Amino acid sequence: MRILVTGAAGLIGSSVAARLANEHDVVGLDLNPGPGVGIVADCNEVADWRHRIGQVDAVVHVAALHAPHVGQCSDEEFRRANVDATARLLDLAMVSKTSHFILTSTTSLYGHALESYSRATWVDEQLEPKPRDIYDLTKLEAERLVASAGGSMTVTSLRMSRCFPEPANLMAWYRLYRGVDRRDVAEAHALALGRKGPAATYVISAATPFLREDCEPLLADAPSVIERRCPGLIDRMAKMGWRPPSSIDRVYDCGLATSELGYSPRHGVASCLAGDWDPLPSR
C-alpha cells in the first residue's frame, strides 16, 4: 500500500511514518525537512505537490497546529492548518480513490466536558466533546469533515491522549489514566489501516487499571484507589521518587479501540519504571 503521511517530521508523525514504512510504501510530507520527509510542502497546496507523489492508496493526516500554539497563532491560522488542510486532503483522497483516510485527533477536544467537581470524568467515545479553545474547535471540525467523507473510503479519527516530553514523574503516573507512549500511538494508526466499515472514532491511550466505579473515589483519594487496583505500585514508584497524585480528575478508556481495532497498548507504567520511554521525559 502506498501511503501519504502528513506531519512526517513531527513528534507523532515521524513515529507513525516510521511504523508504517515497515509494511508499506510511505511518502512523508511536512513543512519541515526530516528523515521520513519526501516532500517539503504545505498540506493546503495540494495542486503544487500532488504530481510528485502519484497515486496513493491511503492518507494518514497527522499534521496540525496544537495546543501550545494557542495564543501564538491566530484563529485563521488554526482553521487553515487544522480544517482547510483536512478538507484539501480529503479531496485528494477521494479523487485518488484511496481506501483509507486516518485523522490524528486529540482528547483535548473534550474540553469543558472534562470538568467535574464530584467525580473523575470517564472519557470514552460516548462522552460529548465541549471544546474550550480554537485548537479543540478546529480538531472537532476536522473530525466532522472526515466522518462526512465516508462511503467507499474507510475513514477513522484517532483521539490520542497526552504524549509529549514532561517530567518523568508526571509521565509515569499519567500512563495510568491520561497518557500514552508514542509507539502505541503509531501502532494504533497501523491497525486503523486494516479496518473496514463506517466512519469511526477511537480514544487512543495507555490501558487503565481503573473502572467506572472508581471515578468518585479517584477524585477524592487517588492513592487509595491506585493501591487497590495496582498493589505495590506506589511503593515501587516511591523508589524512583515519584509520589502519587492526590486526586485524579479523568480516566481515558481505550476499550473500544481494543475491541474493534485489536489495539493493545504495550508501554504503560511498567515501561516507565524500566526506563523504556518514547518520547523521553523532559528534565
- For the chain, the structural domain boundaries read 2-166+180-206+254-265
142-163 pLDDT, tens per residue? 999 999 997 889 999 999 999 9
Q: What is the number of alpha carbons within 13 Å of residue 248 lying toward its C-beta? A: 30
Taken in order 212, 195, 66, 83, is the CA torsion positive or negative?
negative
Reported pTM: 0.96
- Return all residues near 238 (Cβ < 8 A) that are at least 6 apart: none
> What is the predicted pLDDT for the residue at 150?
77
Residue 237 has pLDDT above 80, yes or no: yes
Q: How confident is the model at residue 283 (pLDDT cuts 50, 70, 90)?
A: confident
- Rounded Cα distance, 227 and 239, in Å: 15
Average pLDDT, the chain: 96
> What is the predicted pLDDT for the residue at 38?
95
Cis ω on the peptide bond leading into residue 279 (within 30° of 0)? yes
**144: closest CA among 94, 103, 189, 110?**
103
Instruction: Assess contact for 5 and 17: CB atoms under 8 A.
Output: yes
Residue 82 has pLDDT above 80, yes or no: yes
- Output the CATH code of domain 2-166+180-206+254-265: 3.40.50.720
**146: closest CA among 61, 35, 264?**
61
Strand partners, 61: 6, 103
> What is the predicted pLDDT for the residue at 41?
96
88-110 pLDDT, tens per residue? 999 999 999 999 999 999 999 99
> What is the predicted pLDDT for the residue at 23?
96
> Percent of the chain having pLDDT more than 90?
93
Q: How confident is the model at residue 72 (pLDDT cuts 50, 70, 90)?
A: confident
> What is the predicted pLDDT for the residue at 92?
95
- Rounded Cα distance, 47 and 54, in Å: 12
> What is the predicted pLDDT for the residue at 46?
93
Residue 202 has pLDDT above 80, yes or no: yes
